[in-house]
Chains A and B, each alone.
Chain A
Amino acid sequence: MAAVAVSSLLAQFAPVAPESPNAEGIRDSWLFISIFVFAIFVLVESLLIAFVWKYRRQKRGRFADAAQVHGATKLELAWTAGPVVVLFLIAAFVFIELPGIKDVPDAAAGEEQLEIKVSGRQFYWEYEYPNGVIAVDTMQAPVGVPVRLEVSAPDADVIHSWWIPSLGGKIDAIPGTTNETWFQAETEGTYSGQCAELCGLEHARMLASVEVVSQDEFDAWLAERADDPAELGQEEWEGVCAKCHGMNGEGGIGPRIAGSPTLTDAEALGNLVHNGRGAMPAVGAGWTDEQIRALVSYLTENPPSGS
């Protein structure tokens, strides 16, 4: 029983099951390092326990001298050289895995790489697809296609960090800089993650997810979103407004906004989200008229109830 429990716990001592080649390369590197880490752990802790047991005082005098050994040069050399060899092996393995982790694979024949701009903002993720479609927090992506992400943050925002554990490591979204990462999801499904760099009050609720669907479904979704941005309005409400003002506008760390005339006034709302006010950051700095209209039309049809 205990052995089973221990081995299942050990199996969990690794990054989550990878769903993308880069995440797989990271996990493979992890497992390789684990061999040495566990070996050294067992060696040191068992020597410690063995010495504590074997050389305990027993019947000797409390202050009786033990063996007056001052050192041994050969041992010193051994435990200097040993770790050097281990670390060399680890570094070599990491460098062998590195290209598969950092380089975006070439697109398969007949398929394009997809490029999505990811913008980290207090406290939501904004995605821009090649045809100009905008989405918030939930990213749609086709299965099996390499997706290149250009990750940044608006100049007036703060640093965020993009992280979907099963789709690879994280990369920071830094104002004034554009970083790059990628994934290629192997199976359809929803993969979730969240912002990993403290970015302010609602950092904890800056969630992200990637919905991986078939290429056909993805194409259909992209075309539909280009025609009708109603869904965008809902995403903006839930991802941008509701995190601070409550799902029904009842108030949270921000004030109650249900019933406010600003919500349905494109000019006033545009002014507010473009510039911020008081403690509220400029959450919509750089938003287009279309993005504002999507939010206004969603809120006109679905006025927040306030409770």
Chain B
Amino acid sequence: MAARAEATVPAWQRGRVASWLVTTDHKRIGILYITTSLVFLVLSGLMALVMRLQLAQADADIVGPERYNELVTIHGTSMVFLVGVPILAGFANFLVPLMIGASDVAFPRLNALSYWFFLFGGSVLMLSFFADGGAADTGWTAYAPLSIQAPGNGQDLWILSLHLLTVSTVAGAVNFIVTIHNMRTRGMTWTRMPLFVWSILLFGWLIMAVMPVLSAALTMLLLDRGISIGPVDVQTDFFNPEDGGSAVLYQHAFWFFGHPEVYIIVLPAFGMISEVLPVFARKPIFGYKAIVASTVAIGFFSMLVWAHHMFTIGLPFSLQAFFMISSMVIAVPTGIKIFNWLATLWRGNLSFETPMLFALGFLSLFVIGGLTGIYLAAFPIDWQVHDSYFVVAHFHYTLLGGVVFAIFAGLFYWWPKMFGRMLDEKLGKWQFWLLFVGFNVAFMPQHFVGLEGMPRRVYTYANEEWEGYNLASTIGSWIMAIAILLFAINVLKTRASGRRVGNDPWQADTLEWYTTSPPPPHNFDDVPYVTSARPLYDLRRRLREQRGEREPA
């Protein structure tokens, strides 16, 4: 198999760079996705550091309002569209075919196209800083009519970038859905599928359901801003109240996409946690079916909660009540997951390597983000804290404390499978503790300053009582920066001299650990028949039985 695959590749495609440019191998595309996203993570993180410097003191003058609003906008847009979604798509690319015992995704060339659209879309967004009038500066939500009126080309490039990214994301989603539905190996029924694969299935379906709505809203926004097709000027008024449009219509369309988008990012992070915890507890996941059911339930309900982002626009109270209740309903399946993860630790044989530390960190921080969400779901309370730093703290606890911690758990866990070498444990542990402490120093105070009345997206503030909280946030942001630097050092060190490991260094349960590290281009020479959700556990047990060995003590 392997020999045949290599023989068909023309010589010019085998170069060190060329082989990556033309690759349709899901593993290489996955690594391209992850690497590119990590670069965007660093860039967007640097933007956050500049914003934190500006806010460290009252009335500071490090960046002006124009530049600050651009940073706010591109930091948010980039973290969602260039880091959150694509890094998880990267993990999905690398892992899904391996986990289900397939040789690649269903549409490898479409998969490559997705990646290149992502890279182009991301580059457009970053390069828009150099556009006439600078980058977009109306927030990642780009509310009309502010975004219609925004001068210069930044907003147009922002729309172009998001159009490219939605094409990329939808193409990727189609690929994952078809792959998961059709290419599972013999014996892998729905209830024997790894939980990460389940989360990617929902990731795919949610993208299919809501991304087109974003594309439509963006196109309408573009037309409202006005375009010229040859001699014809088109200028519509969908969202422009001055000529009969509706400003809040844009918000409905945006958040119909925007809230499920949160779960598009969070569900795969949940999935990774569900893979890591059992392996480091030496137990099966507690309540497999309950976790699957809660994943499906979250996916479904995430499409019914969007207007909780719009409680202050003056919706009828009956609608606000509906969206409060639907938002609270989503807390139930989320709680089910958290309790099942806790129960997975119960009576375990817990070992605290870096992936486990990040998974436990995820658990402790995500709970906080989930609980502050209950206040926000209660609409009269939301009138008070909406668009304040309390909300900034809330979503950073879910997306940074939650998703980014899960991503690092995943990186440390699957790195040996991707590259055959183990990331350095000592640097990893330092990184974890610095990130954990820095994160809380940065974001815990933002709850308090938000409650005191500091709105989000302000480039400066006059109230000196807010200085202490803000200074703490700034210090925390720099502690996190050191943690990320340690990760970069770790990657370089591991590339040069990381410890080589075998197929299955963690004695894990899922099929990706059955093949070599890194896997060959065709993934598997043979795939064992799957008889449970833990094929490798079954295999190890059968081997022990054949050899007449006892359980390892």
Most A CB contacts (10 A, CB to CB) among B331, B346, B552 go to: B346
Residues 4 to 44 of chain A near chain B (Cβ within 8 Å): 9, 12-16, 23, 25-26, 29-30, 33, 36-37, 40-41, 44
Contact status B380-A102, CB under 8 Å? yes
Contact status B146-A51, CB under 8 Å? no
Q: Which residues does chain A contribute within 8 Å of B455, judged by CB atoms?
A: 163, 194-196
Asked whether any CB of chain B lies closer than 8 Å to the CB of A170, the reply is yes
Contact status B384-A169, CB under 8 Å? yes
Contact status A14-B387, CB under 8 Å? no
Contact status B451-A14, CB under 8 Å? yes
Q: Which residues does chain B contribute within 8 Å of A287, judged by CB atoms?
A: none
Contact status B65-A253, CB under 8 Å? yes
Contact segment of A131-139, A154-162, A215-223: A154-162
> Given A26-B381, A91-B324, A91-B328, does the pair A13, B143 have CB atoms closer than 8 Å?
no
Asked whether any CB of chain B lies closer than 8 Å to the CB of A83, the reply is yes
Q: Which of these, A57, A63, A71, A197, contacts B287 with CB under 8 Å?
A: A71
A171 CA / B311 CA spacing, docked (Å): 9
Task: Name the distance in Å between A279's Cβ and chain B's nearest Cβ.
Answer: 6
Q: Which residues does chain B contribute within 8 Å of A179, judged by CB atoms?
A: 313-314
Q: Which of these, A75, A90, A168, A205, contacts B343 with CB under 8 Å?
A: A75
Contact status B66-A201, CB under 8 Å? yes
**CB-based nearest A residue for B138:** A198
**CB-based nearest A residue for B289:** A71
Contact status A198-B332, CB under 8 Å? no
**CB-based nearest B residue for A102:** B317
Contact status A199-B146, CB under 8 Å? yes
Q: Which of these, B72, B282, B340, B384, contacts A23 with CB under 8 Å?
A: B384
Asked whether any CB of chain B lies closer than 8 Å to the CB of A107, the reply is no
**CB-based nearest B residue for A77:** B290
Contact status B347-A170, CB under 8 Å? no
Task: Name the distance in Å between B397's Cβ and chain A's nearest Cβ.
Answer: 12
**CB-based nearest A residue for B328:** A87
> Given A170-B386, A196-B388, does the pair A201, B65 have CB atoms closer than 8 Å?
yes
Interface 1/0 per residue, A59-89 and B, CB below 8 Å? 0111111111111100110011001100100
Asked whether any CB of chain A lies closer than 8 Å to the CB of B80, the reply is no
Asked whether any CB of chain B lies closer than 8 Å to the CB of A174, the reply is yes
Q: Which of these, B281, B364, B372, B388, contacts A45 with CB under 8 Å?
A: B364
**CB-based nearest A residue for B551:** A65
Interface 1/0 per residue, B97-139 and A, CB below 8 Å? 0000000000000000000000000000000000000000111
A36 CA / B378 CA spacing, docked (Å): 14
Contact status A169-B360, CB under 8 Å? no
A281 CA / B145 CA spacing, docked (Å): 13
Task: Name the distance in Å between A46's Cβ and chain B's nearest Cβ.
Answer: 11
Q: Which residues does chain A contribute within 8 Å of B145, judged by CB atoms?
A: 157-159, 175
Contact status A30-B352, CB under 8 Å? no
> Given A94-B380, A201-B69, does the pair A66, B457 have CB atoms closer than 8 Å?
no
Asked whether any CB of chain B lies closer than 8 Å to the CB of A277, the reply is no
Task: Name the distance in Å between B469's Cβ and chain A's nearest Cβ.
Answer: 10
> Given A172-B314, A198-B69, does the pair A159, B146 have CB atoms closer than 8 Å?
yes
Contact status B381-A161, CB under 8 Å? no
Asked whether any CB of chain B lies closer than 8 Å to the CB of A203, the reply is yes
Asked whether any CB of chain B lies closer than 8 Å to the CB of A200, the reply is yes
Asked whether any CB of chain A lies closer than 8 Å to the CB of B174, the reply is no
Task: Name the distance in Å between A290's Cβ and chain B's nearest Cβ.
Answer: 25
Q: Which of these, A98, A158, A161, contacts B149 with CB under 8 Å?
A: A158
Contact status B367-A45, CB under 8 Å? yes
A67 CA / B349 CA spacing, docked (Å): 8
Task: Name the distance in Å between B388's Cβ and chain A's nearest Cβ.
Answer: 7
Residues 344 to 398 of chain B near chain A (Cβ within 8 Å): 345-352, 360, 363-364, 367-368, 371-372, 374-375, 378-388
**CB-based nearest A residue for B68:** A204
A97 CA / B552 CA spacing, docked (Å): 59
**CB-based nearest B residue for A204:** B458
Q: Which of these, B343, B368, B372, B383, contacts A26 with CB under 8 Å?
A: B383
Contact status A253-B242, CB under 8 Å? no
Q: Which residues does chain B contribute within 8 Å of A97, judged by CB atoms?
A: 380
A201 CA / B348 CA spacing, docked (Å): 54
> Given A26-B384, A33-B381, does the pair A63, B363 have CB atoms closer than 8 Å?
no
A253 CA / B459 CA spacing, docked (Å): 13
Q: Which residues does chain B contribute within 8 Å of A2, judged by CB atoms?
A: none
Contact status B349-A64, CB under 8 Å? yes
Contact status A66-B314, CB under 8 Å? no
Contact status B374-A37, CB under 8 Å? yes
Contact status B328-A204, CB under 8 Å? no
Q: Which residues does chain B contribute within 8 Å of A70, judged by CB atoms?
A: 284, 286-288
Asked whether any CB of chain B lies closer than 8 Å to the CB of A47, the reply is yes
Interface 1/0 per residue, B272-303 and A, CB below 8 Å? 00000000011110111110000000000000
**CB-based nearest A residue for B378:** A94
Asked whether any CB of chain B lies closer than 8 Å to the CB of A48, the reply is yes
Contact status B453-A30, CB under 8 Å? no
Q: Which of these, A67, A176, A197, contacts B283 with CB under 8 Å?
A: A67
Q: Which residues does chain B contribute within 8 Å of A75, judged by CB atoms?
A: 287, 339, 343
Interface residues of B (CB under 8 A from A): 64-66, 69, 72, 137-139, 143, 145-146, 149, 151, 241-242, 246-248, 281-284, 286-290, 312-314, 317, 321, 324-325, 328-329, 331-332, 335-336, 338-340, 342-343, 345-352, 360, 363-364, 367-368, 371-372, 374-375, 378-388, 447-448, 451-453, 455-462, 507, 551-553
Which 6 interchain pairs have the tightest Cβ spacing?
A169-B383, A176-B241, A204-B458, A179-B314, A66-B349, A175-B241
* Subset of 21 A-B contacts with CB under 8 Å: A37-B374, A40-B367, A40-B371, A64-B551, A64-B553, A69-B347, A75-B287, A98-B317, A102-B380, A159-B146, A165-B452, A169-B312, A169-B383, A170-B387, A171-B314, A177-B313, A194-B453, A198-B138, A198-B143, A204-B460, A253-B66
Besides the known contacts A169-B382, A170-B387, A196-B386, 14 further A-B residue pairs in the complex with CB atoms under 8 A apart: A13-B451, A55-B281, A57-B349, A67-B347, A76-B290, A79-B336, A83-B331, A90-B378, A91-B325, A155-B241, A157-B145, A161-B386, A169-B380, A172-B312
